[in-house]
Amino acid sequence: MATVFQLNYRIMNLKIKIQKVLVTFVLSPIFIINGNAQENIPPQHPIIQTKYTADPAPMVHNDTVFLYTSHDEDDAMGFKMKDWLLYYSTDMVNWTEHGVVASLDNFDWVPYDNGAWAVQCVERNGKFYLYCPMPGGVGIGVLVADSPYGPFKDPLGKPLIRNSNHDIDPTILIDDDGQAYMYWGNPKVYYVKLNEDMISFSGEIIQEPTTPENYQEGPWVWKRNGLYYMAYASTCCPEGIGYAMSNSPTGPWKYKGMIVDASEKTRGNHPGIVEYKGKWYCFGHSYDLLKKITPKFYERRSVDMDEMVYNPDGTIQNRHYWSVEGPEQVEPLNPFKRVEAETMAWSEGVKTRSETEWEGNFDWDRGKKIADRLFVTDINHGDYIKVKGVDFSDGAESVEVSVSPIYGGKIEIRADKINGPVIATVDVNITRQAGIWSTFTAPVNDITGIHDVYFVFKGEKDLFYFDWWQFYPARESEE
Ligand code: FUB
């Protein structure tokens, strides 16, 4: 988001960029030969491909990274944001979608259905607090749950903060002495002390007098080795991720540089920073996925991330842009337990959907609930899902998949490359069973050790829905 001046500047810039893009579009041999922009896009990244996501807010709880995001609708032109999504990972390369974790419907007092902007979730005393800004002076609300997955409820029935039209992008710091602070704002930074209940505050709302250099919006505050850090969408336009440091949670803040440089690919940006198993990671968002399909500009963003490295003096190393290869995998993935099909390091073509399965077929008599499912949809010939670093250990004997067949087809499970050796072929040879879930099993060819796994879909069209998969270990040969 930006001031009127910034918006005018962005529009002017955008016109120049569109002209440039048109020139490229017309002159580039890639566009002439292939008719699309795919050649220009890195082979991997952003980290979520099945939906447009923005404003990443990672949170570590136990051994899992929970990633809350805003959600740009697939047909968004400008901001079209109704709900918030949750993803999780234990290896920082394969992300599993949990689906919608909260929405504007959670707040009775919000007057519109488009304005689910950048959230942050924090845990305190076993409860999870999701701070949700609704722009245009509506305010910042808070939702509470007993689990990071929700369900989240509004304990106040009114905004926690309604201070000005600048009330967006909340971030929370709980200091070592237990004092919690909330920071937010565009184009200035505001902060207030939160009470221990995390749903009320004490004292004045302060407009931070040293709003750090290059600050735009999207603050993210954390502490390391006694030093306070504030990262934020920085410079305009486009925006990268800059940061400032302080010796105190209340400033003054001193600008230290860019963590991720501003570039055409990032445009608006919004940092989320977290430490996980001894390494630090910086999340932001880009338009890379959108650019894969069009040179046009819409508010359809995609969360990306990479490792973030400190210098010995506590300053942060700059990275020009998210690397193509992403961070190192923290631990290999275990295929011998059920893995949700919506667990992926990368995918092409597929989408996801939530649905409740009922016993009955009729609106007026659905019978008992069988299951709430989130599954992979829109599976057509040539689409694929890549799962990184799967540890087959001493080998697998068979693989089982849960699918709901539409026109039917095959899943070729391949090692290391989309056209790598076939590990197994699962034949889904039933049709017209959409809504009915069955498992299919196939024998596994010789495979041991750690491999990237590609689920490559083959068939004519609308093959099936895909819910989960699991390998079974090779049985020791009988003496
Ligand atoms: O996603 C909506 C708004 O755009 C966020 O609140 C800002 O940080 C910017 O990313």
DSSP string, 194-260: EPTTSS-EEEEEEE-TT--TTEEEEEEEEEETTEEEEEEEESSSS-EEEEEEESSTT---EEEEEEE
pLDDT at 31: 27
CA distance 232 to 271: 6
Residue nearest to ligand 1 atom 1, measured at CA: 117
pLDDT bracket for residue 364 (50, 70, 90):
confident
DSSP 8-class letter at 293: H
- Higher-pLDDT residue of 363, 459: 459
Cα 338 to Cα 345: distance, rounded to the nearest angstrom: 17
**Closest Cα partner for 358 from 469, 468, 436, 465?**
436
Give me the pLDDT at residue 243, please. Answer: 98
Confidence of residue 477 (pLDDT cuts 50, 70, 90): low
Q: Is the confidence at residue 202, as pLDDT, over 60?
A: yes
Q: How far is the CA of 23 from the centre of ligand 1 (A)?
A: 30
CB 151 within 8 A of CB 141: no
Quick one: pLDDT at residue 268? 72
Over residues 109-142, the pLDDT tens digits come to: 999 999 999 999 999 999 999 999 999 999 999 9
- Provide the b/e sequence for 262-284 (b: ≥16 CB within 10 Å): beebbbbbbbbbbebeeeebbbb
Total-model pTM:
0.90
Band (19; pLDDT cuts 50, 70, 90): very low
Query: Is residue 58 reached through a cis peptide bond, with omega within 30 degrees of 0 on the bond before it?
Result: no
> Ligand 1 mean position to 1 CA, how many Å?
6
| Model pLDDT, residue 43 | 60
d(CA 466, CA 464): 6
Query: Is the pLDDT score of 2 beyond 60?
Result: no
Grouping H, G, I as helix, E, B as strand and the rest as coil, residue 375 is strand
Distance 449 CA to ligand 1 centre (A): 42
Q: Quote the pLDDT of residue 10.
A: 39
- Report, as an integer, the average pLDDT of 79-97: 98
Nearest Cα to Cα of residue 250 among 295, 192, 195? 192
217 lines ligand 1 (CB under 6 A): yes
For 380-415, the pLDDT digits (tens) are 999 999 999 999 999 999 999 999 999 999 999 999
- Is residue 39 scored above 60 in pLDDT? no
Question: ∠ CA(55), CA(46), CA(421), 5° rounding?
Answer: 150
pLDDT of residue 476: 67
Ligand 1 neighbourhood includes 118 CB (under 6 angstroms): yes
Q: Probe ligand 1: pick from 270, 299, 302, max atoms within 8 Å of CB?
A: 270
Handedness of CA 224, 229, 233, 236 (dihedral sign): negative
Beta bridge partners of 405: 464
> Nearest C-alpha to atom 8 of ligand 1 is from which residue?
218
* Structure confidence at residue 12 as a pLDDT band (50, 70, 90): very low
Strands 369-377 and 351-358: antiparallel
> Hey, what amino acid is at 138?
V
Q: Which residues have C-beta within 8 Å of that of residue 22, sequence separation ≥ 6? A: 295
- Cα angle 302-338-421, degrees, rounded to a multiple of 5: 75
Q: Would you place residue 15 in the very low, low, confident or very high pLDDT band (cuts 50, 70, 90)?
A: very low
- Four-point Cα dihedral 107, 165, 160, 140, nearest 10: 50
Cβ(383) to ligand 1 under 6 A? no
Whether 268 is in the pocket of ligand 1, judged by its Cβ within 6 Å, is: yes
* Mean pLDDT for the stretch of residues 85-114: 98
The 10s digit of each residue's pLDDT in 414-442 is 999 999 999 999 999 988 888 889 999 99
Least reliable range by pLDDT among 27-36, 62-71, 116-125, 168-177: 27-36
Q: How confident is the model at residue 273 (pLDDT cuts 50, 70, 90)?
A: very high
| Tens digit of each residue's pLDDT (9 = 90 or more) over 240-270 | 999 999 999 999 999 999 999 998 777 778 9
Distance (angstroms) between ligand 1 centre and the Cα of 6 equals 14
54 CB under 6 A from ligand 1?
yes
**SS3 label, residue 397:** strand
Q: pLDDT at residue 347 above 70?
A: yes
Q: Quick one: which of 103, 72, 100, 94 has its CA closest to 342?
A: 94
Bond preceding residue 335 cis, omega within 30 of 0: no
As a whole number, mean pLDDT of residues 98-113 equals 98
**Which of 1, 239, 301 to probe ligand 1 with, by most ligand atoms within 8 A of CB?**
1
Q: Ligand 1, atom 9: nearest CA belongs to which residue?
A: 1
401 CA distance to ligand 1 middle (Å): 38
Quick check: 318 pLDDT over 50? yes
Q: Single out the residue of 376, 379, 337 nearest to residue 355, CA to CA.
A: 376
Kindly state the average pLDDT of the residues 344-367: 91
Sequence-ordered strand ranges (E) for 114-195: 120-124, 127-134, 139-145, 171-174, 180-184, 190-194
465 lines ligand 1 (CB under 6 A): no
Residue scoring higher pLDDT (75 or 36): 75
How high is the pLDDT of residue 264? 79
Find all residues with CB under 8 Å of 470, minimum gap 6, and list them. Answer: 335, 336, 337, 338, 339, 399, 400
Nearest atom (ligand 1) to Cα of 285: 10
15 compared with 383, residue with greater pLDDT: 383
Is 23 a residue whose pLDDT tops 60? no
* Number of other CB atoms surrounding residue 193 within 10 Å: 17
DSSP 474: P
What are 161's two structure tokens?
Answer: 């903060």
Q: Residue 70 above 50 pLDDT?
A: yes
State percent of the chain over pLDDT 70: 90
Predicted local distance difference test score (pLDDT) of residue 458 = 98
Q: Is 166 in the pocket of ligand 1 (CB under 6 A)?
A: no
Q: Is 55 in the pocket of ligand 1 (CB under 6 A)?
A: yes
303 lines ligand 1 (CB under 6 A): no
Ligand 1 within 6 A of CB of 1: yes
Measure 137 CA to ligand 1 centroid, in angstroms.
15
